[in-house]
């Protein structure tokens, strides 16, 4: 069914490409990353006609740590993805934290709301699995479909579709729908074209990573280094940021680092060179040496804590990185991309069943409120957190003193990974949930 959200202006003559069947839908989703594919999957499962437009062709690479926490695992299970080891997924038991001369292993918490394990999967394969699952549910996927601009009704100011260049010949086409979901990542040209710009008062991170052939490829813990040292000179130098090592189970390790723009060195340093310096400080038998590198060092921005708002306006909804959904505590983006996609799909499905345009609009305007109710207080706490750890001295002191207290670190793991039971749970859950509830939902 195709339901208009409000009366449309006088229809214009269609070009031959517009007249092709299939260029109209209930919803258009721009971008087939985790956010877009999850949105399209749940919309299709709800019976809506969905177009999923992806500018590249699968398989394709994205910069990511490739490690999935139990939050993301829950979403994969909800989409019916086969996450067995036989299907190529590597399970992990928890997080190994290294810093201040201490090495601490923490298992993922035992909760009613989330599984007690994480997963690892390369993004070039991971994203395609989600997109194909959306296709199986009924979404119509167009690869090599580069969206160039929104189509806006001059009378109402609402988005009513998108213009795109399709295929190898970059044929110009238009797609029409009363609702459009921007799932086109941090750059989100679609949001910018609709006048939605990044908030400068929200944190931004940068991640750089590469792959090495390594004997540590089958590690069953994700590894996080809270101190990065450059030991190449006469005197060791503490570097801003944090590092990770994730075994991929295929003979390689994903090695990378993240840094926040709250660090004084954010704009001054070459982070690819910092990654090289950190890798050079590691034991040689781990294999993190230039001759074992299997691909180039790549980087990507991490938009955090609702850094683009509003998440709904004039027929456009933002999900995932387009809406700045990355967790400021730990830089995790995939789980929140998928969760926001599911939330957006549920609200759209409910809105499409309302009788009048005014009622549909009322339902759609719930989406920003639902996001803030779900994450707003927690992200406010995260913004305060990133200001503190942007100072390397604060990070060093917290690492040296905190890691010697396993109970405190168990609490910290729950806080940073946002893994609590919303009702019931233990005392740690109640403290974290309470803090998130009282914090401003900005």
Q: Tokens representing 93?
A: 């038991």
| pLDDT value at residue 234 | 64
Distance, C-alpha 434 to centroid of its chain: 25
| Structure token pair of residue 123 | 């993004």
- Structure tokens given for 276: 């090289």
Task: Specify the pTM.
Answer: 0.91
CATH superfamily of 16-63+123-200+304-379: FAD/NAD(P)-binding domain (3.50.50.60)
For residue 68, the model assigns a pLDDT of: 95
Tell me if 40 sits within 8 A of 29, measured CB to CB.
yes
Cβ-based burial of 375 (10 A; exposed 0-12, middle 13-18, buried ≥19):
buried
State pLDDT tens for residues 59-115.
Answer: 888 888 789 999 999 999 999 999 999 999 999 999 999 887 888 999 999 999 999
> Out of 129-138, 173-182, 400-409, 427-436, which region has the weakest mean confidence (pLDDT)?
400-409
What's the Cα-to-Cα distance from 306 to each of 266, 433, 440, 442, rounded to whole Å?
20, 19, 13, 8
Neighbours of 424 (CB within 10 A): 11
Is residue 280 within 8 Å of residue 215, measured between CB atoms? no
Q: Is the dihedral of CA 311, 76, 205, 56 positive or negative?
A: negative
Q: Are 331 and 325 in contact (CB under 8 A)?
A: no
Q: Which helix (H) or strand (E) holds 99?
A: strand 94-99
Does 213 score more than 70 pLDDT?
yes
d(CA 351, CA 312): 13
Decide the pairing of beta strands 242-247 and 67-68: unpaired
Distance CA 395, CA 429 (A): 24
Whether a cis peptide bond, with omega within 30° of 0, leads into 98 is no
Q: Which phi and psi (to 5°) does residue 350 adopt?
A: -65, -40
- Using CA atoms, how far apart are residues 294 and 389, in angstroms rounded to an integer? 32
Q: Taking Cα atoms as reference points, which of 283, 275, 215 lies closest to residue 251?
A: 215
Which has the closest alpha carbon to 164: 153, 154, 156, 172? 172
CB 91 within 8 A of CB 220: yes
* Three-state secondary-structure class, residue 127: helix
Q: Distance between CA 286 and CA 271 in Å, rounded?
A: 21
pLDDT at 8 over 70: no
Question: Any idea which of 113-122, 197-206, 401-410 has the lowest mean pLDDT?
Answer: 401-410
Task: Kindly list the distances between the CA atom of residue 98 and the CA atoms of 206, 237, 242, in Å, as whole numbers in the listed order.
Answer: 21, 17, 10
The conformational region for residue 90 under phi > 0 = left, psi -120 to 50 = alpha, else beta, is: beta
User: Any idea which residue has 């580069």 for tokens?
Assistant: 146
Residues 243, 208: Cα–Cα separation, whole Å: 10
Q: How confident is the model at residue 1 (pLDDT cuts 50, 70, 90)?
A: very low
Domain boundaries, the chain: 16-63+123-200+304-379
User: What's residue 336's pLDDT?
Assistant: 97
- Which of 185, 177, 168 is closest to 36 using CA atoms? 185
pLDDT of the residue at 232: 62
Cα separation, 227 vs 395, in Å, equals 8
Q: Alpha-carbon distance 359 to 204, whole Å? A: 36
Q: What is the overall mean pLDDT for the chain? A: 89
For residues 32 and 276, the model is more confident at 32
Distance CA 264, CA 389 (A): 11
Segment 316-365, tens digit of pLDDT: 999 999 999 999 998 999 999 999 999 999 999 999 999 999 999 999 99
Please tell me the least confidently modeled range out of 140-144, 165-169, 397-401.
397-401
Tell me, what's the pLDDT at 111? 96
CB 40 within 8 A of CB 50: yes
Q: Please, where are the H alpha helices in 171-211?
A: 189-193
């Amino acid at each position: 069914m195709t339901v208009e959200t409000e009366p449309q202006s006088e229809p214009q003559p269609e070009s031959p490409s517009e007249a092709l069947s299939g260029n109209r839908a209930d919803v258009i989703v721009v971008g087939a990353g985790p956010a877009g594919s999850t949105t399209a999957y749940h919309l299709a499962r709800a019976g809506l006609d969905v177009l999923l437009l992806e500018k590249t062709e699968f398989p394709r690479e994205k910069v990511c740590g490739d490690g999935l926490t139990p939050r993301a695992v829950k979403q994969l299970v909800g989409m019916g993805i086969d996450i067995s080891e036989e299907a190529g997924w590597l399970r992990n038991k928890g997080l190994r934290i290294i810093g201040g001369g201490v090495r601490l292993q923490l298992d993922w918490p035992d909760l009613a709301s989330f599984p007690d394990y994480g997963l690892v999967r390369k993004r070039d394969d991971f994203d395609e699995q989600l997109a194909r699952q959306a296709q199986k549910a009924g979404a119509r996927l167009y690869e090599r479909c580069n969206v160039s601009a929104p189509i806006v009704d001059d009378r109402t100011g609402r988005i009513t579709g998108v213009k795109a260049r399709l295929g190898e010949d970059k044929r110009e086409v238009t797609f029409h729908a009363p609702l459009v979901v921007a799932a086109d990542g941090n750059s989100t040209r679609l949001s910018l074209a609709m006048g939605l710009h990044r908030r400068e008062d929200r944190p931004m991170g940068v991640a750089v990573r590469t792959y090495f052939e390594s004997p540590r490829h089958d590690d069953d813990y994700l590894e996080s280094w809270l101190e990065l040292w450059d030991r190449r000179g006469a005197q060791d130098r503490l570097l801003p940021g944090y590092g990770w090592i994730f075994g991929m189970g295929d003979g390689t390790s994903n090695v990378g680092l993240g840094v926040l723009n709250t660090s004084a060195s954010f704009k001054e340093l070459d982070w690819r060179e910092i990654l090289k310096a950190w890798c050079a400080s590691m034991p040689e038998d781990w294999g993190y040496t230039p001759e074992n590198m299997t691909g180039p060092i790549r980087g990507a921005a991490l938009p955090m804590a609702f850094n683009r708002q509003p998440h709904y306006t004039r027929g456009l909804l933002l999900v995932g990185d387009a809406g700045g959904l990355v967790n400021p505590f730990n830089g995790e983006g995939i789980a929140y991309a998928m969760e926001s996609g599911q939330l957006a799909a549920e609200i759209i499905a409910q809105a499409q069943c309302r009788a009048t345009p005014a009622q549909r609009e009322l339902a759609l305007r719930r989406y920003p409120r639902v996001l803030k109710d779900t994450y707003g207080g927690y992200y406010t706490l995260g913004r305060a957190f990133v200001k503190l750890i942007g100072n390397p001295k604060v990070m060093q002191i917290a690492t040296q003193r905190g890691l010697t207290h396993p109970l405190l670190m168990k609490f910290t793991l729950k806080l940073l990974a946002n893994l609590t039971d919303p009702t019931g749970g233990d005392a740690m859950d109640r403290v974290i949930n309470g803090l998130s509830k009282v914090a401003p939902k900005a």
